Amino acid sequence: MSSGLDYFRQNRLPHIWCPGCGHGTVTGALTRTLAKLGIDKNNVVVVSGIGCSSRASGYLDFDTLHTAHGRAIAFATGIKLSRPELKVIVMTGDGDCTAIGGNHFIHAARRNVDITTIVMNNNNYGMTSGQYSPMTPTGMLGTTAPYGNVERPFDLANLAIASGATFVARGTSYHVQLLGEMIEKALLNPGFSVVEAVVGCPTYYGRKNKIGGAVELFNWQKDHAVNVKAAAAMAPEKLEGKFLIGELYNKAAPEFTAEYARLVEGVRRKFDDFQGGVRGCAQNSD
Amino acid sequence: MPEAKLMQGNEACTLGALTAGLSFFAGYPITPSTEIAELCSEELPKVGGKFIQMEDEIGSIAAIIGASLTGRKAMTATSGPGFSLMQELMGYAAISEVPIVVIDVQRVGPSTGMPTSLAQGDVMQARWGTHGDHPVVVLAPGNVRECFDLTIKAFNIAEEYRVPVVVLSDETIGHMREKVVLPELKSLTIVDRKAPAAPAGYLPYKADQDGGVPLMAPFGKGYRWHVTGLSHDETGFPTNKGDVAGALIQRLMRKVEKAEPLLRDYATESADDCDVLVLAFGSSAMSATSAVRQARAAGVKAGLFRPKTIWPFPEEPLRELASRVKRIIVPEMNLGQLVYEVERVVAGKAPVEKLSKVNCELFRPEEILASIMGGSK
Which band of pLDDT confidence, cut at 50, 70 and 90, is reported for residue A283? very low
Q: What is the pLDDT of residues A83-107, one digit of tens each?
A: 999 999 999 999 999 999 999 999 9
- Mean pLDDT, chain B, as a whole number? 97
Rounded-to-integer distance, Cα B283 and Cα B62, Å: 30
Range of the domain at A100: 4-252
Assembly ipTM: 0.97
Q: Annotate A216-229 with DSSP letters as a single string.
A: HHHHHHHHHEEEHH
Could you tell me if residue A111 is inside a domain? yes
Parallel, antiparallel or unpaired: strands A131-132 and A124-125:
antiparallel
Could you tell me if residue A285 is inside a domain? no
Could you tell me if residue A240 is inside a domain? yes
User: Residue A279's pLDDT is what?
Assistant: 53
% residues pLDDT > 90 (chain A): 92
Q: What is the pLDDT of residues A19-66, one digit of tens each?
A: 999 999 999 999 999 999 999 999 999 999 999 999 999 999 999 999
- Mean pLDDT, chain A, as a whole number? 94
User: Residue A66's pLDDT is what?
Assistant: 98
Q: Would you call B111 helix, strand, or coil by DSSP?
A: coil
User: Residue A282's pLDDT is what?
Assistant: 43
Query: Are the CB atoms for B277 and B326 separated by under 8 Å?
Result: no
- Contact state of B59 with A104 under an 8 Å Cβ cutoff: yes
Domains of chain B are 4-187 (3.40.50.970), 267-374 (3.40.50.920)
User: Residue A274's pLDDT is what?
Assistant: 52
- Contact state of B47 with A77 under an 8 Å Cβ cutoff: no
User: Residue B90's pLDDT is what?
Assistant: 98
Tell whether the model's pLDDT for residue B63 goes beyond 70.
Answer: yes
- Which CATH number do you get for residue A76? 3.40.50.970
Could you tell me if residue A89 is inside a domain? yes
Best of A48, A63, A91, A114 to mutate (most B CBs within 10 Å, chain B): A63
Best of B22, B46, B86, B225 to mutate (most A CBs within 10 Å, chain A): B46
User: Residue A204's pLDDT is what?
Assistant: 97
Q: Which of A1-5, A194-198, B15-19, B125-129 has the lowest mean pLDDT?
A: A1-5
Residues of B in Cβ contact (< 8 Å) with A272: none
User: Residue B220's pLDDT is what?
Assistant: 98
* Residue (of A129, A120, A65) closest to A98 by Cα position: A120
User: Residue A229's pLDDT is what?
Assistant: 97
Best of A59, A73, A75, A285 to mutate (most B CBs within 10 Å, chain B): A75
Q: Would you call B309 helix, strand, or coil by DSSP?
A: strand
User: Residue A1's pLDDT is what?
Assistant: 55
Which band of pLDDT confidence, cut at 50, 70 and 90, is reported for residue A264? very high
Which band of pLDDT confidence, cut at 50, 70 and 90, is reported for residue A273? low
User: Residue A160's pLDDT is what?
Assistant: 98
- Residue A44 amino acid letter: V
Tell whether the model's pLDDT for residue A181 goes beyond 70.
Answer: yes
Q: Would you call B219 helix, strand, or coil by DSSP?
A: coil
Q: Which of A272 and A119 is assigned the larger pLDDT?
A: A119
Parallel, antiparallel or unpaired: strands B266-269 and B226-228:
unpaired
Tell whether the model's pLDDT for residue B329 goes beyond 50.
Answer: yes
- Contact state of B54 with A107 under an 8 Å Cβ cutoff: yes
Residues of B in Cβ contact (< 8 Å) with A62: 224
Instruction: Tally Cβ neighbours within 10 Å of residue B183.
Output: 13
User: Residue A280's pLDDT is what?
Assistant: 46
Which band of pLDDT confidence, cut at 50, 70 and 90, is reported for residue A270? confident
Question: How close, in Å, is residue A108 to chain B by CA atoms?
Answer: 9
**Mean predicted confidence (pLDDT) in A243-260:** 98
Buried (b) or exposed (e) across A161-181, using 16+ Cβ within 10 A?
Answer: bebbbbbbbbbbbbbbebbbb
Could you tell me if residue A278 is inside a domain? no
Which band of pLDDT confidence, cut at 50, 70 and 90, is reported for residue A271? confident
Q: Count of domains in chain A? A: 1
Could you tell me if residue A79 is inside a domain? yes
Nearest CA in chain A to B204: A63
Which band of pLDDT confidence, cut at 50, 70 and 90, is reported for residue A2? confident
Question: Exposed (0-12), middle (13-18) or buried (19+): which is A57, by Cβ within 10 Å?
Answer: buried
Which band of pLDDT confidence, cut at 50, 70 and 90, is reported for residue B228? very high
What pTM, to 2 d.p., does this model score? 0.97
Rounded-to-integer distance, Cα B282 and Cα A80, Å: 37
- Contact state of A41 with B224 under an 8 Å Cβ cutoff: yes
Could you tell me if residue A46 is inside a domain? yes
